[in-house]
């Protein structure tokens, strides 16, 4: 009886150690942790306001507010490609996002105007780009 109880305890420990957190659970935990640090200045005139996981599209969505007196429509148009390249490099090189990328997660960055809350720019990065 004692030997069976020890064997059962070992089996339970082994099975518990094998549990792998699902992509949804991992994203929910990441969003929970990040919410504690928001809003957060990213650079002059850009604030990361919130983070959301969209289960339907398997996408992590970052919502930013930008100072639209600093970042005019023309400035955004001229800097869009450089920003896209930088974000793509940041996501691709991120060790913290490694498992999420392996699980097929995509990323979207939404930039809203500080003055009226309207969308100024959205950048989508499909998993196959990363």
Q: Tell me the domain boundaries of the chain.
A: 22-129
Give the CATH number of domain 22-129: 3.30.300.250
**CA–CA separation, 12 and 44 (whole Å):** 52
Residue 1, pLDDT > 60, answer no
Supply the pTM of this predicted model: 0.80
pLDDT tens-digit profile of 65-117?
999 999 999 999 999 999 999 999 999 999 989 989 998 999 999 999 999 99
Q: For position 7, what pLDDT does the model report?
A: 44
Is residue 38 within 8 Å of residue 50, measured between CB atoms? yes
Q: Looking at 45-110, list the stretches that DSSP marks H as alpha helix, in order from N- to C-terminal side.
A: 73-93, 98-102
**CA–CA separation, 51 and 61 (whole Å):** 6
């Amino acid at each position: 009886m004692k030997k069976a109880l020890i064997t059962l305890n070992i089996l339970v420990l082994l099975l518990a150690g094998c549990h792998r957190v699902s992509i949804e659970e991992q994203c929910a935990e990441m969003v929970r942790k990040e919410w504690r640090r928001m809003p957060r200045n990213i650079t002059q005139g850009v604030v990361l306001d919130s983070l959301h996981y969209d289960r339907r599209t398997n996408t992590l969505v970052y919502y930013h507010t930008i100072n639209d007196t600093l970042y005019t429509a023309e400035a955004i148009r001229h800097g869009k490609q450089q920003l896209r390249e930088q974000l793509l490099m940041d996501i691709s090189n991120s060790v913290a996002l490694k498992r999420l990328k392996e699980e097929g997660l995509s990323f979207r960055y939404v930039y809203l105007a500080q003055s009226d809350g309207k969308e100024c720019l959205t950048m989508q990065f499909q998993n196959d780009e990363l």
